[in-house]
Amino acid sequence: MSRLNHPAGFLAALLAAACMSGAVQAQQAGAGFDFRLAPGPRLVGTRADSSGSGQVHALLQGNVLTLQGTYQGLLGKLTEVHLAMGSLPVVRGPVIASLVAGDGAISARVTLNARQLTAFRKGGLYVEIDSAEAPDGDLWGWVLPPSD
């Protein structure tokens, strides 16, 4: 079985492509940068249940990260929106802040500590929107800052 036909290999390839796309968008954005929210990883049997999309603008000033964006087309009723920290892109991690969400909009102003700033610079922060039908992530977006 080729790597792309294996569920884990397919998800890794898909997430890597999404990360690269976000990095290109980040490099073109200037002071702040934009990233997409896309359907979260799901089990092979539920891939057809594609949810919506979204867009978020990120701006880091000192150690304060401001996020503002929109989303649409969730699989179910919104239950939670948060910023989480993995060690690297596509690595899940703990929630570090809740975002304000409602009527298709999300926002947050988060003061990052030194460890969180390091994760930000490595692309380890991500926004996750959970719904009743997708409690482990209906929409995801990796916060990929422009490279120096």
pLDDT in tens, 89-130: 888 999 999 999 999 999 999 999 999 999 999 999 999 999
Would you say residue 6 has pLDDT above 60? no
- Pick from 131, 138, 148, 140: nearest CA to 19: 140
Edge to edge, the sheet with strand 95-98 lists 95-98, 78-85, 125-131, 134-142, 33-39, 53-61, 64-72, 105-111, 100-102
pLDDT digits (tens, 9 = 90+) for 38-75: 987 654 455 445 678 999 999 999 999 999 999 999 98
Q: DSSP label at 1? A: -
Tokens of 88: 């690297």
- Decide if 118 contacts 96 (C-beta within 8 A): no
Would you say residue 23 has pLDDT above 50? no
31 or 111: whose pLDDT is higher?
111
Which pLDDT does position 36 carry in this prediction?
Answer: 95
Which pLDDT does position 49 carry in this prediction?
Answer: 55
Which pLDDT does position 148 carry in this prediction?
Answer: 62
Cα 81 to Cα 60: distance, rounded to the nearest angstrom: 19
Angle at 128 between CA 127 and CA 134, to 5 degrees: 170
* pLDDT mean over 127-145: 91
- Where does the pLDDT of residue 146 fall: very low under 50, low under 70, confident under 90, or very high at 90 and above? confident
CA 108 → CA 75, 76, 99, distances in Å? 23, 22, 5
Burial 56-88 (b: 16+ CB within 10 A, else e): bebebeeeebebbbebeebbeebeebbbbbbee
